[in-house]
Each structure stands twice: as structure tokens, then as C-alpha cells.
Chain A
């Protein structure tokens, strides 16, 4: 009897050890965890820390739009659709709005595509406005806080400014109705009109399966120093250069086209993902907007991202210590890029590679279908959970109103 007892206890202790990952069974690349508030936060589980209520909007706001153009599921703004799908089947969803901490409105504003597949934002403000009018009239929760405990996913170029051209976006500003809501967007630039305080920055959508099918063995030696594929001059829209990417991409080309260490070109090879895995540094310069899917690709493939975008706010910046992982280069320092990169000490480079190899880092950048622990969906929920509990000022006193329903350009006020 005593033997059985000790056996059972032994089994329990071993099981416990395995669950707390004290024993590592498999050989991995030694990864580094940034202990403390930054790194470990990626592995937090949002279930139990917040409750989200998903409004049931008529399908003209979501399903019908998707049916009209299913390409929305594959472009870099697909996060809004996948977020909706994740939330309706997630454990944080509650069907009782009284106990909800956050309210989600599933409206696909970035799904009006041109024949070439680029989204047109011209109807988006009206769509959003119409959706908000609907939820404010059918449920009391919007008016209770004027949207302060609601969140919206607006993954378009300049977020809730709903325009692809920066000057126009700045002129429009964030949609006035969304002034108090939390915005989950890909755009992030400090001191910019289109980045509201308290927004959550997410990575653009990159297809996880496609990236995983292009993985090459880890022992393939990294022999490319700097890698970049993309446009330097946007000849269609900015032929003289200087406007696109604030001239930074053009500067990269002009300064380094003769440099054998820089494997940069506009060609799109079939081995793009494989080449990234053979490179030490991957350039992630801004384009028309500061964010780019290259950051996601660089993180997934273990290539150190070189971010050339002044004042950019990177995804989940409060959870991921980007300064320690990537290299930030000011746009004015682009001509000195080779000096900057070669003067980084090798130990620092090896450390960055170890941090990048951390699987929770890679997982946090992806939107896998179905959702997995630690992925970008969970990071968004973690971000929302970190903003709880709501302040008292969120709930409006009776008679207090701050939203102006008629603000904004006249064209926005038309019904959708």
C-alpha cells in the first residue's frame, strides 16, 4: 500500500513538473525570455480576465460584404474579419451584456475592394456611423458610456481616419463618433492625429500557413547581410520620388544599390520567404504608411528587422520590447545605414536573434486559423484586459454628452 502511495505521489510530481515546463524534453534553440513586465506578458491568458459582448449586427455590415468579395480574407487587412470570427467562438465572449467589460461591433469597413484588391475607404466612415447609430438605438450600452467601453477594429492604412492618403487622413482626423472608443489598428505613429491615446496597435495580417510552408532547416547558414524586396520609387503615384516613404526608400536604393552586402531589389522572387531566412538583417522601411507586413515576416523568419520609420509605434508595444529586438534607424540616417549596421557588436546581434527565436514572439505576430494560445488575437485581448477596470469617468452621468453626432465632413453624414 505504501508503495502505491509513493508511486502515485511520484507520478503526480512528475506531471506537475512537466506542466510547469521545468523539464524541457525537446531540443530547441536556446531562446531568451525578457523577464519582467515585457516578455512574460506575451503568454498571459486573457480568459477569465475580461468579458466581451459581440453585437449582433445585420449581415449587411459583415457577412454580405464578405460574400461580395472574398478576397478580403487574404489581404493584409483581414484581421478585422478574423477577429470577429475568433470572438464569437472564444471563451471570453459573453451573451449577457450586463456583465460585459468590453463591447465589440463587427463591421468590416475595409472590405470595399477595387478590382486590383486595394480597399477604398470612401464609404467606411458612413458604414461605421451607420453601425454606431444602430447599436446606440437598439442597445443602451453605447449611450451609457458614449462608446468608452467599446472597441473597434480599424486595420486600414491610417486607422479610423479612413483615408489612404496621409494629408487627407490628417485633415479628416479620427471619426468623431469614435473619440471615446478604443481603436484596434495597424497604424501607429507618435504625435499623429490618427493615433488616439489608448489604441492598441496590431500587426498587419500575414498568412501563417503560407509562411510555415516555406520554412527551411535551421542549420542553413545565414549568408545575406541585409535583405529587402519592394518598391523604392512608386512610379505610378510619385514619379519624382521624395513623397513615397518620405524619400527614405529612394535613399536606401541610391546609397546602397552598389553595395554587395545589401541584397535589395524590386523583383519579387519565388524564394522570398526562404531568402529572408538566410539573411541577418531585413529592412522594414515605411511606405505610404509607416507599418508593413515585412515586420511580421522578419519576426517569423528570425531576421532582425531594421525599422526605418520615424516615430512609429510598433504592434503590442507595451508587451513586446521592440528596442531590444529590432534596430531603429532614423530616416535622416539612412545614408549611414551600412555604418550603423556593421558597428553593432556581434553579441548584441546574437542576443537579438535569440529573442526573435522565442516562439511566443513569433506567435504573437500571427493570426492563425483556428486561434492558438499566445497569438495576436490573445494579445489584443490582453491589451484590452490591461485597460480594465474602467475608470468611473467612463460612465456618463445623466444629461452629460460629449459626442457630436454631426461633426465631420458633410459627405459622412449621408446614410449608408
Chain B
């Protein structure tokens, strides 16, 4: 019994690829209890106790040194086992047992306890890390070449813009997204109110091939009218595509939208006209207001964010459209650009559509017959809200992004007050010398109606005149101080954003 329980525990120790053994031979059956076995048991127990004390398997050592009958056993000096510090120790030679075996060539691989080799500084070497990243990059490049898009088409991005305070903010964002696109890109920037140096200087930094054109109308002040003018500007850009016979995929990158880089990979798959899902980011002055709006509806719409895009049935065929339901926000939406209310998109936004540029060309043989000619739409009475109006039937639209399940871009409209001013090209030249620390001004924190019209530094003009009276004495020293406080100054008198909740305060 004892023997079998030992065998039992021996077997039970085979939890994870068990390989240890006790000193007993692996005799399988026959619970023979002889004095020899009892002796071995007792010895085993004693060795166990000693091992408990010493902390390593003493018994194994004893056995192998005293009774080495097994062949090919090697032993290293049993190393210090406390705190897990292991000394790299070289292995000793093996003893080959030539007991009736065919001559085995001494292999350099030996069984037994080996030292654990640890190098003196087991930490990553930065040069090697960089090399590894280079390897990974090369592997990924190869993967892209093999499994990515073959024959990538040029991306033609159409952006309507106009000069205003937030133009630099939005346009820089779009510009950097477009600079990251791994395909050839043509950027058509249509500017309301004519070409200006402001915009030109912004887009010149991109290094992309740009076509910068002006549009004869100025951007109006109400969102509704602004949407209409933007549509006209986009059509103007499409006419340029037609005239120049640009070849590629046309996508509409509004300057305040945010794009996922996968969007550009996905639109390469479009054949004629495709639609992607667009997430609509609505915000208002009070975030609480929006959430209360949502909660009022109850369980109707559990979508945390409205999404516009193609709707598919189970077999991934286009059956309809998810559009924006503006009824919930009726009465609470912004009308003018300055308003502090959520800005609503149209039912379906332009940015959710991509077109093959050949659809727009004149005199192309293989153009499908469901596309209306651009010239035919020239009447201004025609309200083009989205590219679906260019089609005779909307069933031909291809849903992209796994049938609209991936939201690949986000629509947002955020603008400053129309009368807000900013330094031209965001360069402050000559340097300001406001000298009064902000908290010592007599003006209240909420800015009153602003004075208007001149070019540079109008914001600071008022303060400058007044403050100069106070500080003519120690201009230099004060100005040094004021330079650091300038930030505060600009903030106090700074722009008030119509749709942002918090006041920009110090």
C-alpha cells in the first residue's frame, strides 16, 4: 500500500508535463513490501527532511554521487537557491554507460541540471530595438504590397473652406490627415470669397498637390445658407475634376471633419459610387442639454451617437439609408454660426459619399447611364444636398466599410463668432507689448461687444492705448513680465466660441 500510495503521488505529480522522478525505480505493479523498500522509504523521508532544511534536492545529489548507475548523468555544482540568483555554471562532462549499448557518439547535449545563463545586463539595447522596428516595418510593407490594395487609385479630396478664426484649426487637421494617406493625392480646396493668402499659406505647408480655387460668393452667416453655399462649392470642384479629367476616387473632406486612415484604404474599393458611415458629433453649450434630450426619448434610440450611412440587410445589400433625425432637436438647433446650440447636419452629408472621378467626365464611353451630367444641374434653383441627387437611381450605391458597420469619419461643425478676430496667418508681428497683467484691468471677465474692423492686433488696440498710459515708465521691465502674462491677456479678451460651453477664462 505504501508503495502504491507513493506511486500514486508520483503519478499525481504529472500535472504539467511531469518529468521528475523519485529515487525509486519506476516499477509499476506488485506492491511488494520488502525490507529493502522500507529502507528506501525511510532514506527517502530523511532526505526529504534534509532538503526541507537546506532548500534544494539533497537526496538527488546523494543518490547520483553515491549510486550513479544511470548513464549520461551530469551534475553541476548545486547553486545557491535563495533569492533565485543563479550563477551561470558550466556543465560537467557526462559519463557514458557502455553497458551493452551500441556505441553512442558522445553528444554535446547532456541530460541533467544546467545553469541558467543570464547575461550581465539583461535589458534591451536601443540600437537593436530600432533594428527590430525596422524589420517589423519592412515586413508590414511587404504585407501591404501583397495583401493590400493592388493598383491604388489617386485620391481626390475636395474641401470647401473660407477664412475665419477656426480655419487654421480645422484645415491643419485635415491637411495632416491627408498628408498621411499612403496613396497619391490631389487636394482641391475651394475657398468662398476668392483665393486669399491666408488659406494659401496654410495649404502650402502640406507638400501635397493642391488645386486652390476661389468661389465668387462669400460664406453667409446662417448654417442653412452655409450648407447650400458649400454644396455649390463642391459642385464647382467637381467641374474642375471634369475639366482637368482628373482620374481617381473623389472624396469630400470637409475641413472640420475627422477622418480615420482606414477610410482611404476602404475607398480604394469603390467601383462607381460608394457610401460610408459617418458619425455625427453634436455638441451644445450645455452637455447636459444634449444628454437630457437623448434621455427624454427613452429607449427608442439606444445609439449613443447618431450615424449616417448606408443600411444593409442580412445579405449585405443596400436597402436604405440611416439618416439624421433632426426632429428631436427641432427648435434647439443653431441657426446662425454664432449660436450656442447644436449644429445639425443635413439628412445625408456629402462627406459620406465617394465617387469614381470618371462619373464626372464628359464623353466617356463606359460611364453608367444612371449618372446625370453635371452640366444639366447648372440651374441654381436645383438644391443639391448630397451626391445622391446626381444619380437617377440610388440603388447603385456601393456600401463600404463592411456595409456601413465601420464608422470611418466623423462630422463636426464648430465655429467661433463671426466677428471674432485673429492675427493674420497667426503670426504676431511686430511683437506685442501689452504690459498690464490681466487681473489688474478694469474690464470684466466676460467680454463686451467687441470693436471692429482693422487688420492687425485690433484686439489689443484698446488695451494698449489704455495700458500705455499707466506703464510708460518702466516699459521694458514690465514688458518682460507681461510677455509671460500675455497668455492671460489674450484669454481675457479672447474669442468667445459660440458653441462651447465654458468661457475661456484664465
Q: Which residues of A contact B (CB under 8 A)?
A: 29-30, 114, 116, 118, 120, 122-123, 163-168, 170-171, 173, 189-193, 217-219, 221-223, 225, 231, 234, 236-238, 240-244, 246-247, 250-251, 254-261, 280, 287-288, 310-311, 331-332, 334-336, 338-339, 341-344, 346, 349-350, 353, 411
Q: Are A114 and B132 touching (Cβ within 8 A)? A: no
**What residues of B have a CB within 8 angstroms of the CB of A192 in the complex?**
104, 107, 109
Q: Are A411 and B128 touching (Cβ within 8 A)? A: no
Q: Which residues of B contact A (CB under 8 A)?
A: 11-21, 26-28, 56-57, 70-73, 76, 79, 81, 86, 97, 101, 104-109, 111-119, 122-125, 128-129, 131-132, 134-136, 138-140, 142-144, 146-148
| 8 further interface pairs, Cβ-Cβ under 8 Å (given A247-B115, A258-B124) | A189-B109, A234-B19, A237-B16, A241-B116, A251-B118, A260-B129, A346-B134, A411-B28
Question: A167-B70, A221-B140 known; A255 and B135 CB under 8 Å?
Answer: no
Q: Are A234 and B17 touching (Cβ within 8 A)? A: yes
Which one of A29, A221, A411 lies within 8 Å of B144 (CB-CB)? A221
In the bound assembly, the distance between CA atoms of A164 and B17 in angstroms comes to: 9
**What residues of B have a CB within 8 angstroms of the CB of A29 in the complex?**
146-147
21 contacts between A and B (CB under 8 A): A29-B147, A114-B11, A164-B17, A170-B111, A171-B97, A192-B107, A219-B147, A225-B135, A225-B136, A237-B13, A237-B19, A238-B20, A243-B113, A243-B114, A247-B116, A258-B124, A311-B107, A335-B119, A341-B132, A343-B131, A350-B138
In the bound assembly, the distance between CA atoms of A336 and B124 in angstroms comes to: 11
Residue of B nearest to A280 (CB): B139
**What residues of A have a CB within 8 angstroms of the CB of B124 in the complex?**
258-261, 338
**What residues of B have a CB within 8 angstroms of the CB of A170 in the complex?**
70-72, 111
Which one of B109, B112, B132 lies within 8 Å of A261 (CB-CB)? B132
Residue of A nearest to B138 (CB): A346
**What residues of B have a CB within 8 angstroms of the CB of A238 in the complex?**
19-20
Which one of B21, B28, B116 lies within 8 Å of A122 (CB-CB)? B28
**What residues of A have a CB within 8 angstroms of the CB of B101 in the complex?**
173, 193
Q: Are A311 and B109 touching (Cβ within 8 A)? A: yes
Residue of B nearest to A242 (CB): B113
Residue of B nearest to A176 (CB): B100
Question: A171-B71, A247-B114, A247-B116 known; A338 and B128 CB under 8 Å?
Answer: yes
Q: Are B19 and A244 touching (Cβ within 8 A)? A: yes
Q: Are B117 and A334 touching (Cβ within 8 A)? A: yes
Residue of B nearest to A226 (CB): B132
Question: A191-B105, A241-B116 known; A167 and B73 CB under 8 Å?
Answer: yes
**What residues of A have a CB within 8 angstroms of the CB of B20 in the complex?**
165, 236-238, 243
**What residues of A have a CB within 8 angstroms of the CB of B97 in the complex?**
171
**What residues of A have a CB within 8 angstroms of the CB of B140 in the complex?**
221-223
Q: Give B150 Cβ to nearest chain A Cβ, in Å.
A: 8
**What residues of A have a CB within 8 angstroms of the CB of B146 in the complex?**
29-30, 218
Q: Are A122 and B119 touching (Cβ within 8 A)? A: no
Q: Give B112 Cβ to nearest chain A Cβ, in Å.
A: 7
Q: Give A384 Cβ to nearest chain B Cβ, in Å.
A: 23
**What residues of A have a CB within 8 angstroms of the CB of B143 in the complex?**
218-219, 221-222
Which one of B17, B104, B114, B117 lies within 8 Å of A288 (CB-CB)? B17
Q: Are B13 and A349 touching (Cβ within 8 A)? A: no
**What residues of B have a CB within 8 angstroms of the CB of A334 in the complex?**
117
Which one of A123, A250, A342, A350 lies within 8 Å of B116 (CB-CB)? A250
Q: Are A116 and B122 touching (Cβ within 8 A)? A: no
Q: Are B122 and A254 touching (Cβ within 8 A)? A: yes
Q: Are A243 and B112 touching (Cβ within 8 A)? A: yes
Which one of B16, B81, B111, B129 lies within 8 Å of A240 (CB-CB)? B81
Question: A30-B146, A123-B28, A251-B116 known; A335 and B11 CB under 8 Å?
Answer: no
Q: Are B72 and A167 touching (Cβ within 8 A)? A: yes
Q: Which of B70, B117, B142 has the most CB of A within 10 A?
A: B117
Q: Are A335 and B117 touching (Cβ within 8 A)? A: yes
In the bound assembly, the distance between CA atoms of A91 and B111 in angstroms comes to: 43
Q: Are A280 and B26 touching (Cβ within 8 A)? A: no
**What residues of B have a CB within 8 angstroms of the CB of A251 in the complex?**
116-118
Q: Are B111 and A167 touching (Cβ within 8 A)? A: yes
Residue of A nearest to B129 (CB): A261
In the bound assembly, the distance between CA atoms of A244 and B81 in angstroms comes to: 16
**Lowest 8 CB-CB distances: which A-B pairs, in order?**
A191-B107, A219-B147, A237-B20, A335-B119, A247-B114, A342-B131, A288-B19, A122-B28
Question: A243-B113, A258-B124 known; A118 and B72 CB under 8 Å?
Answer: no
Q: Are A259 and B123 touching (Cβ within 8 A)? A: yes
Residue of A nearest to B127 (CB): A342
Q: Which of A29, A173, A221, A336 has the most CB of B within 10 A?
A: A221
Q: Give A238 Cβ to nearest chain B Cβ, in Å.
A: 6
**What residues of A have a CB within 8 angstroms of the CB of B118 in the complex?**
251, 254-255, 335
Question: A218-B143, A236-B18, A238-B19 known; A332 and B117 CB under 8 Å?
Answer: yes
**What residues of A have a CB within 8 angstroms of the CB of B128 in the complex?**
338-339, 342
**What residues of A have a CB within 8 angstroms of the CB of B111 in the complex?**
166-167, 170
In the bound assembly, the distance between CA atoms of A242 and B101 in angstroms comes to: 28
In the bound assembly, the distance between CA atoms of A116 and B17 in angstroms comes to: 10
Which one of A114, A189, A280, A353 lies within 8 Å of B14 (CB-CB)? A114
In the bound assembly, the distance between CA atoms of A246 and B89 in angstroms comes to: 12
In the bound assembly, the distance between CA atoms of A30 and B106 in angstroms comes to: 44
**What residues of A have a CB within 8 angstroms of the CB of B13 in the complex?**
236-237
Which one of B18, B79, B125, B129 lies within 8 Å of A118 (CB-CB)? B18
**What residues of B have a CB within 8 angstroms of the CB of A171 in the complex?**
70-71, 97
In the bound assembly, the distance between CA atoms of A103 and B12 in angstroms comes to: 37
Q: Give B121 Cβ to nearest chain A Cβ, in Å.
A: 10
Q: Give B120 Cβ to nearest chain A Cβ, in Å.
A: 9
In the bound assembly, the distance between CA atoms of A349 and B139 in angstroms comes to: 8
Q: Are B136 and A222 touching (Cβ within 8 A)? A: yes
Q: Are A168 and B107 touching (Cβ within 8 A)? A: no
In the bound assembly, the distance between CA atoms of A242 and B110 in angstroms comes to: 12
Q: Give B58 Cβ to nearest chain A Cβ, in Å.
A: 12
Residue of A nearest to B69 (CB): A171
Q: Are A349 and B107 touching (Cβ within 8 A)? A: no
In the bound assembly, the distance between CA atoms of A413 and B241 in angstroms comes to: 90
In the bound assembly, the distance between CA atoms of A261 and B135 in angstroms comes to: 12
Q: Are B56 and A240 touching (Cβ within 8 A)? A: yes
Q: Give B447 Cβ to nearest chain A Cβ, in Å.
A: 50
Q: Give A172 Cβ to nearest chain B Cβ, in Å.
A: 10
Question: A332-B117, A353-B139 known; A225 and B112 CB under 8 Å?
Answer: no
**What residues of A have a CB within 8 angstroms of the CB of B134 in the complex?**
346
**What residues of A have a CB within 8 angstroms of the CB of B113 in the complex?**
240, 242-243, 247
In the bound assembly, the distance between CA atoms of A154 and B172 in angstroms comes to: 68
Q: Are B132 and A219 touching (Cβ within 8 A)? A: no
Q: Are B119 and A336 touching (Cβ within 8 A)? A: yes
**What residues of A have a CB within 8 angstroms of the CB of B106 in the complex?**
191
In the bound assembly, the distance between CA atoms of A341 and B105 in angstroms comes to: 31
**What residues of A have a CB within 8 angstroms of the CB of B19 in the complex?**
164-166, 234, 237-238, 243-244, 288
**What residues of A have a CB within 8 angstroms of the CB of B112 in the complex?**
167, 243
In the bound assembly, the distance between CA atoms of A166 and B17 in angstroms comes to: 13
Q: Give A27 Cβ to nearest chain B Cβ, in Å.
A: 8
Q: Are A255 and B119 touching (Cβ within 8 A)? A: yes
Residue of A nearest to B147 (CB): A219
In the bound assembly, the distance between CA atoms of A357 and B136 in angstroms comes to: 17
Residue of B nearest to A126 (CB): B28
Q: Give B178 Cβ to nearest chain A Cβ, in Å.
A: 22
